[in-house]
Chain A
Amino acid sequence: MKISKVYVSDKEGFSSKLKRSIDNLGIKGIESVREFSVFWLAQASIKDLNVLSAKLLHSSFTQEVFINTIPKSLTKGALKVEVVSDLGVIDPREASFKKAARDLGVKKEIKVRFGRLYSITGRLNANDLALIKRRLLIKNAIEHEVTKSERIFVKTPKYKFKLTTVPISKANEQELLKISESGRLSLNISEMKEIQNYFKGLGRGPTDIELETIAQTWSEHCSHKTLKGNFLHNGTLINNLLKTAIIEPSLALRKPYVVSAFEDNAGGVKIGNRVICVKVETHNHPSALEPVGGAETGTGGVIRDIIGFGKGAKPVSSIVCFCVGPQDLSYDKLPQGVLHPKAILSGIVEGTKSYGNQMGIPTDFFQDSLLVHKNYVGNPLVYCGAVGETDLDSAKKLEPRKGDLVVLLGGFTGRDGVHGANFSSESLKGKSETTSLGAVQIGDAIMEKKTQDAILEIKDKRLSPWITDCGGGGLSSAIGETGKNIGVLVNLDKVPKKYEGLSYSEIWISESQERMIVVCSEDNKGEILEICRKFDVPATVIGEFTGKSSLELYYGRKKVADIGMKFLHDGCPVVSGRTFWKEKKRNRKKASAVNFGEAIKKLLSDPDLTSKALIAHQYDSTVQGGTIIGPFTDEEELTHEDVTIRKLSEGQNLGFALTITANPNLTSTNPRYMSHWIITHSLAKLAVSGADFTKSALLDNFSWGSPKEVKVMGELVESLLGCKDAVEGFKVPFISGKDSLNNQFKGDKGEVTIPGTLLITALAPMLNIKKVVDQGFQNKDDAVLLLGELQKDMGGSCFGRLYNLQGEIPKINFEKTRALLVQLSFAIRKGLIESGVAIGKGGLALALAKACVSSGLAAEINLDSLNKKFDLKNHEILFSESAGAVVVTVKRKLLPLVKEMFLNDYLEIGIVAENRLKIRNSSKTILDETVESLSKVYKEVFSNYYEA
């Protein structure tokens, strides 16, 4: 086979960014690094090569191209490292290349593979080179260095069918566990025994694919068996924790605006005559290994959840939240086999932004979208969420009927993510890098966009009763769930493949991305396939619903699986556990003399509290034209708004407000109060933007440690019970949620568990998008009010951590807070409020500082009224994180009216001023800072130590 190579590099081809990264590793002596894109082309004629390199592979204005050899002068004395993606990792550029080659008149089908060549000059020893390769040049999870003898184009052999049956009926416990382990099934002994019994009853052993199917369906990732388990917690029995703590209390509220809760890919609420649906997922473990691919997969996956909500929905915004290790962590503290937090962060930013931007979905990057903690080093968290809009009719799925067809839409199936669902349910080990190959894929956002285009037309034409996505567990999970009640038969050999050689079970459990399942009647098949052709989306009928209540899989004419749906979905033995939690005794330390000006600046430069605009600006936030507020409203676009507001595509003035909140620093103090705090703060943020509090909805995402640890689970149970308290107290329901367990990392530096991390996503309708407020002060001389209660407790607070204070978390009075927030959202709709910010991390002081930084105006605050109303010390007034309280500004002439509305919650604390934030009491000034100096720390710190 004739293989040609095309090298392309920028004219000013020296990569200063890469050189800087090498310098950051502490490696000296490098002079320059030049990077070339490498294209291997098979069977290309000279003419083809010339056309392709001139018209497609490079741009003559800015790049240079070399065919087959690079001039010696360019690489003289240089070390060369050539990288190519692993076989089976499909680069989406391949399809684009083929299309473009056709358009350019290239007749023959030319095969292509992609890689990079680095040419490095300077003095470099072997160890340093190995380090650079590992840390910077090669993404080990998906690519490798080209070896001399490597054949770039290999023909994959065709798959020869062979049915595998697993001898299970006579296996003892030990053998059962061995079967589970060697098959990477992640099934425990009681589950294996249940399976053994089931197949004994059938009088035969299971096939490999049957075992895989059961393992997928019963995996933590797909079934959430731990949270659905029974817990003996602190001596009290809780049956089905998730149901008891979240689902039942939410449903018991019987909120008429909740259209879909806990039943579909996302939760949905009605606003006007539209439905807004939301889903948030985690994609933690894959992102630790290959941050770009892992994050792409996370974003793509949750967007598909939205596209596959009901009978289809249009994604209208996307949400991210990353929990990573300290960006300035020194390399000697980095456990072996772990990527540096910097590499992880820049990778997950790259992956999420490229996917969301390409899909044309505006992404919200909030203050809480990046949280830093040392225990996230080995096990970072990547939360990806998406919001969709659809019509009322399309918000509910209809059960498939007998004879309906299963149509597979979108990308082809490869070996991607085989065992991904089970893998994400396991904990990370230093060696995960080698044992988990195949767990990460390269995202193809354009395939997903095309699939979305097709599905939205299918929805608008009412051609399908049920649309769903292929996520964790692949076809197995998606089709198994779709046919749960009626039974389904699938012909696996009909599934279009990326390459030859896939076995029937690999096809079935593959987690290749960008695939959707559309159910349709025989009558609508033609029209659906026609729509898919129009948008260039592959679509294939691969099965039909049978009415037999079983899952039947065929490969050709051979039956490879036949499992009863009831056993598959209800057969998993209930998990039960004993958990325990007790509050630690703490000595309340006294705050030593603190310079408040210094404290506020330290807080403004804390990685959690400082501006992350540098990252936020990389996400398209205005596409689709729906954005009213967010992510920034200040002139320089550097101060995070806590809420984004988007308008609906229909209904002149209707919209929705959305926010996310997490505060892992509270968990170890009191996980139950942590949940209270997060939910209260979320709702306060919504209310203070003008959203309708009475129609709010919540989503939970728990990322926690090992379910085997009694104390870790004790915290989780407490946190869930805290959610229950808040649902009942605020009368606000959850509509969806997800959990990710086993977030701990075991490496050469010991085992580290993440702090239990609850992310709450909250949304509420905006009844009038013309009446919204943001956080920045609006007019000089407006009155500054505190609405709500300030509290004493500093436990887990930012100030407390800074000055080593311990204590409890502020306790929330749900009833009073609810009354305040209902009134507040009403006051804003009436146009009485000029600006508003909810008190959260950093307390009153930070709320004031952000209002200053955001507007360029300032405030003069007098603590006398505060001292009189609350029995608190100055540092408690300024820095206690009293969730539920808000700071608002009001035009002076409206004060009597506002006072009348808020009664006891009302307190005037100062006025909007210019230039300096001054806080004083009758006797002395305790804080006096220019807005400029506050802005400087808030806006600069993070950009200094985060490198894009």
Chain B
Amino acid sequence: MTTTTKVFEYTPGANLPPGDDPLHGELMTLNMGPQHPATHGVLRIVVTLDGERIVAIDPVVGYLHRGKEKSCETLGWHKFFPHTDRLDYVQPLMNNIGYALAIEKLAGIEVPPRAQVVRVLLMELSRVMAHLIYVASQSIDLGAVALFFYAFRQRELAYDIVDAYTGHRMNNTYVRIGGVYADVDEQVSAMAARFVEEFPLALDEFEKLLTRNRIWCDRNRDIGVIPRELAIAMSLTGPALRGSGVEWDLRRAMPYSGYESYDFDVPVGSVGDCYDRYLVRMQEMRESIKIVRQALERLQTVKGDVLAEDRRFVLPPKDKVHGSMEELIFQFKVVTDLRLPRGEAYHGIESSKGELGFFIASDGTAKPLRCHVRAPGLMNIQALPRMAEGRLFSDMVSLIGSMDFVMGEVDR
């Protein structure tokens, strides 16, 4: 794909309407956040206002910085998994998988086919859960309180599936290098099958309440328009980019975990406003459900292990450890001294927020040299000042909500 990048002039206040506003001309600086219910975590935004109009905003990130990338260097490759859960905490399994894929790329591990199907299933469920949070929080921020509860109800059902599978509702840590920890059993797939049947109906209901709702349209349509070129120049990814009409989905563009063999559509928007991003996310949930359905079908036919047989990186089965000295040594080696080959690798996955990438560098010892997380939310926040300029202050809430970032991932 060839794109022309344009340099955008940024003059605060250039597109303000000429003032009939009595307060016009006197700028006021307002601090929004870091503890503000609408900033989705701990994002601080310094807003310069001219009356009700925004002249410029300055998002300040870093209030949730916990040094995750550095933690990887001190903990080692395997022990970083629980930390990836806590990046984008509304979709822990997706983060696990992204990190595992980067390691597998560097180490050249072949993931068994069944594990890939399970991973796709988990990733799409995570996407639904994360997008449900988006609908819920965006609607409660804009005043539709009832929908918040309806969306959380559905999310609860999805969490029940994850709970039955991993034993935890959040922070699951169930993905391992070379596959997933456990196989999806009958009970879990039955729960998922039921969810797949019922969820689209709930989604219809959400759409009935929101999509053609006058208030929702007024507060989302033509608000925060990101033109196609700007979206690319700002390196937006995910629904924020697709809302602006760019068809770029890593599941299609650089398939991983066998996504090339699933049948799904990539919805894109036409205008690039908050409303388009909302529509894209709603449609993405439907597409995810389609993929989950296909993955469930494949689970019937694709059998086998869910962990690669590679004793350098995967723990041997428990009963073998008792009986064999070699296996016991492998067990000790994997736990205490897991080494990746020398080199570096990057793997990006299409998370619910955009391209979630893990860059890892190894010098061949058990201590990671570097682990970097490409957080889609951080890039998406960068577009906020361009979107907010000249808008009314009350639009801030729509803008923040529609970019849908999670500060745990942005600040790391």
> Do A and B associate with each other?
no
Residues of B within 8 A of A (CB): none
